[in-house]
Structures are given as structure tokens and as C-alpha cells.
Amino acid sequence: MTFPKGKLVAIMGLSGCGKTTLLRHIGGALKPTKGYVKMDGQVMHDLDRQGLYAMRRKMGMLFQFGALFTDMSVYDNVAFQMREHTDLSEDLIHSLVMMKLHAVGLRGAQDMMPSELSGGMARRVALARTVALDPMLIMYDEPFAGLDPISLTVIGDLIRRLNDALGATSIIVTHDIQESLKIVDYVYFMAGGVIRAEGTPDELRASKNDFVRQFVHGEMDGPVPFHYPGADYHQDLNLRT
Amino acid sequence: MAVQSTIRAIGHQIVNTVWRIGVAARFFFLTLLYSGNSFRRFHLIIKELFSSGVMSLIIIIVAGLFVGMVLGLQGYETLKRYGSESALGVMVALGLVRELGPVMAALLFASRAGSAMTAEIGLMKATEQISAMEMMAVNPIARIVAPRFWAGVISMPLLAALFSAVGIFGGYLVGVVQIGVDEGSFWSQMQAAVDFREDIMNGAIKSLVFGVVVTVIALFEGFDAPPTAEGVSGATTRTVVTSSLAILMLDFVLTAIMFRGA
């Protein structure tokens, strides 16, 4: 798998197929048993803790439900990395936080606590926090999960615009095929820990691949069976065949 | 077969316990290693001192007052039999400063602040806040654990001292004000019998040790909690149970070392 600079790439697949595990490998949270992840010329699992942390400063990750720090306000959440990793003055941090919050449309919510935010707002604050230090790689773990249709469009649009504005590379792990095909440049389909298909959104919409067709059109049965493998049905019902 | 599986289960439990002690010891070591950042940014410790120390004040003061009053009552009843009511102040003060102050304050601290620490960190883990911090290249042990650890270690002896002081006042209220023990002998005998190094310092050392133990247990249980509702509730229970047992066992050991023959 390659994620070219400036591109927005989606990784799709069924639950449990290894999408989030892949993100964890890219972030250096897991060591691969086979293969490697190379970012900016460095093999992630070869790095020591210091090297890994240096690399992570160039990354941002949006967690599935935002993972905002619940004991901090919206403002402090966005300012967190700036305070931890830079020597910027509070005045400058204030300006930067305002710019990030403005970009996600939540400048007015700076004093709110995470518990006061709706799911969509929390996701947008988390997005502002993710791009706080202008990362070169942004990872999104199920950014559309549990959002209403308006929030879903807003988040999708923000992901695209932020990627282009920052000149970053973005990786989206998602189930939401319709929303993601609108915004991404390239898609990888995974199943059972391997890539089953790949292509641009237009190629995938026109694909004859059974797996892709089932996924894109949301068909119940196909290469991914409806029934989980089990004993013979008649046998389970104690019927003689 | 039943015997075999029982032995296997016991063995598994022992291995698991030893493994957890090892992981907790490593966790403690890492907390000390990454503590420098907390002292450079002391406001992080101050914030935690408020939630673990200041927020425990009410329970410590109320409990201290009542324990002192009970000591005053019981002590008077016992001392009266030997005609030594005037030694009530000594009995109340020594009982509190040497034993009840550090032990009761630590038990209350474990159930109020310790359980809160475990639940807070466990929930941070369950809601991926700790993973998020890791991904932001911020060490969660340095940022989350170390300030809470030092806040616990600093606040515990202060809370124990406060417990003893309020307890002595409770003993005074019952012994002198209510029952009528002579006020002069209550205070003067206490002043003559309570030794700063032998009694007060040893009590302070005890509470410091309890502070370290309770805080490490609370933080470790939170950090190690499975990221589920059951996991966090189980960890919170374990914090209170393990801390309470550790306090009582350590109290015996420390008392044997400090006061044997004194």
C-alpha cells in the first residue's frame, strides 16, 4: 500500500478486517510480524521511543469518537499539542487555536467542555486538535461513525479541505462508502488482512469485481456471506435430511 | 482431573499475581523516571493536589472529629478504672498520631481519592484519551500519571496530620468540655508524653509510605484497567480493596519496626 503526498486515501473493509490495526502500525503503536511501514524515509518499527515520538509529531490522528480530553475545554484541547511541543507564547497559541477552531466552524465553542458538545461538534473539535501542528500525515479512524447526515457532510468536506490546505496526506479508515467516495482520491478494499481491490472512486463504481460490487451496493450476500460459518442448519434443528 | 484443574487454576492465579506485581513495579519505576516534567510544570501537580487533597478535606475532618470523640469517650471509660483520667490527652494524641491518624486517613484517601483516580484514568483509557495522547507524542505516564502520583504523595501526610489534629480536638471536646477532665492535665501531659521524633515523625513517615502505596495502586489499576465499563468498575473495586489491605499490612510492619520496645 502506498499513500502519496497530498492525496486522500481511503481504506475500506468489513469490521475486523484489520483496518484499525493498519492505522496502529502506521502510527508505530504495533510492531508488524511481517513487512514494514515506511514514512518520510524511516521504518516505523525500527525507531526508538524518541524517534517514534519525533515522527508522531508529524502525524495527526482523529479517533473514532474524537477522544477529546474530558477535563479540558475545547480551547485547551486544541492548544494541548502546541503547549506540549512548542515554546510559543500564549498570545500566539491563542491566535493559532482561534484559526484552527475557525477552520472547523467552532470558534464560538472555545469555552465549552467536551461533555457539552454534540457528536458532530466533538468530531470537529477533535479534527481541529488533530491538525493543530499542521501534520504531514493525518489518519482518520471511522470519522463518519454515528453522525447525522449534516454533520457527516460537514466532516467529509472538512477532511478534504484541510488535506488540500495543509498539503498533507490523509488516510481514512471507514465503512461509509458513499460519503468517502465523494471526497477521496484512491481506495483500498481490505478483507481478511489483505488488499482485495483498489482504485479511484470512478474505477470502483464501475468495477465488475464481485467483492467491490457487493460492498459498493451494500448487497446482503456475495463473496462476503450473510451466514457466519456454522454447523449444518438441519442438524442444528435436529431434522433428518 | 478436578484436582489437576484446581492446581492449574491456583498456579495460574499465582503466576498472574506475580506478573501483575512485576508490571506494577515497572510502572512505579517509570513514574519516578518521568517525574521531572511534573516538577518543571508544577501547576499540573497543583491541579491534582486540589482534586485529591483539597477535595478530601471534608471527609478527613468529619471522620477525624468523630474518631477523636470516640477515642475520648472510650479512653475515659478505660482510664477511669485506674484513676488515670488525666492521661486522656496522652492516650488520644498517641493513638491518633501513631496509628489512627495515618491509617484512617490513608483508608479514607484510598476510598475517596484513590478510587476517583482509578476511575478517571480507566475511563480516559476506555475513551481512547490515553491512546490519543500517545499518538500526539506525549508520554501519558509523564503527563497523566506522574502529577497525580506526586499530588497523592504530598497530600497524604498533610491529610493524616489534619486528621490527627482534628481528632485530638474531638477528644478534647468529649473529654474536657463534656466529661470534665482537667484541661491543664489534658494538654500538659500530652505535651510531655508525645515525642516529636518518635511519635510525630514516625506517624508522618507512615502516612508518606501509605501515600506512595495507595497512589501507585490507584494509578496502576486505572492504567491497567480493561477499556470497558466492567473493566473500570472492577479496577476501582480492586483499588479500594488492595489499598486497604496493603495499608493495614504495612501498618503492622512499620509499627513493628518503629515502635517495638519504644
Q: For position A139, which CATH number holds?
A: 3.40.50.300
Measured distance CA(B239)–CA(B242) in Å, rounded: 5
Flag whether pLDDT at A24 surpasses 90. Answer: no
Q: How confident is the model at residue B107 (pLDDT cuts 50, 70, 90)?
A: very high
Overall pTM surpassing 0.90 (yes/no):
no
Flag whether pLDDT at A175 surpasses 90. Answer: no
Give me the number of domains chain A comprises: 1
What value does the mean pLDDT take over residues B158-178? 95
- Name the burial class of residue B3, with classes exposed (0-12), middle (13-18) and buried (19+) by CB atoms within 10 angstroms of its CB: exposed
Asked if residues B159 and B47 have their Cβ atoms less than 8 Å apart, the reply is: no
A84 closest CB neighbour out of B131, B134, B138: B138
Q: Which of A57-66, B99-108, B141-150 has the lowest mean pLDDT?
A: A57-66
Residue A113 confidence (pLDDT) = 95
Residue A64 confidence (pLDDT) = 84
Question: Does residue B22 belong to any structural domain of this protein?
Answer: no
Q: Which domain holds residue B212?
A: 34-259
Backbone angles phi, psi at A29, to 5 degrees: -80, -20
Q: Three cell numbers at A208?
A: 465488475
Question: Does residue A231 belong to any structural domain of this protein?
Answer: no
Question: Does residue B137 belong to any structural domain of this protein?
Answer: yes
ipTM exceeding 0.85, yes/no: no
Interface with chain B: mutation pick from A50, A63, A78, highest number of B CBs within 10 Å = A63
Q: Give yes or no for A90 touching B (CB within 8 A).
A: no
What value does the mean pLDDT take over residues B11-31? 94
Measured distance CA(B254)–CA(A46) in Å, rounded: 47
What value does the mean pLDDT take over residues A51-75? 90
**Mean pLDDT of all residues in chain A?**
86
Match 496509628 to its residue by C-alpha cell. B99
Size of interface A-B (CB pairs under 8 A): 47
Residues whose CB falls within 8 Å of the CB of residue A22, separated by 6 or more in sequence, listed in order: A1, A11, A173, A190
Interface with chain A: mutation pick from B136, B138, B139, highest number of A CBs within 10 Å = B136
Q: Which of A194-203, A213-222, B246-255 has the lowest mean pLDDT?
A: A213-222
Q: Three cell numbers at A92?
A: 500566539
Asked if residues A212 and A222 have their Cβ atoms less than 8 Å apart, the reply is: no
Residue B16 confidence (pLDDT) = 92
**Which residue type occupies A10?**
A
Q: How confident is the model at residue B261 (pLDDT cuts 50, 70, 90)?
A: low
Within 8 A of B140 by CB-CB distance, chain A residues are: none
Residues whose CB falls within 8 Å of the CB of residue A170, separated by 6 or more in sequence, listed in order: A7, A8, A9, A137, A138, A139, A140, A159, A162, A163
Q: Cβ separation of A63 and B137 shorter than 8 Å?
A: no
**HSE of B224, CA atoms in CB hemisphere, 13 A:** 21
Question: Does residue B8 belong to any structural domain of this protein?
Answer: no
**HSE of B225, CA atoms in CB hemisphere, 13 A:** 33
Closest residue of A to B135, CA-based? A56
**Which residue type occupies A153?**
T
Q: Which domain holds residue A170?
A: 8-202
Measured distance CA(A24)–CA(A32) in Å, rounded: 10
The vertex-B62 CA angle with B60 and B68, nearest 5°, equals 95
- φ/ψ region of A2 (left if φ > 0, alpha if ψ in -120 to 50, else beta) reads beta
Flag whether pLDDT at B62 surpasses 90. Answer: yes
What value does the mean pLDDT take over residues B176-184? 92
Flag whether pLDDT at A211 surpasses 90. Answer: no
Give me the number of domains chain B comprises: 1
Residue A241 confidence (pLDDT) = 58
**Mean pLDDT of all residues in chain B?**
93
Question: Does residue B4 belong to any structural domain of this protein?
Answer: no
Q: Which of A237-241, B30-34, B188-192 has the lowest mean pLDDT?
A: A237-241
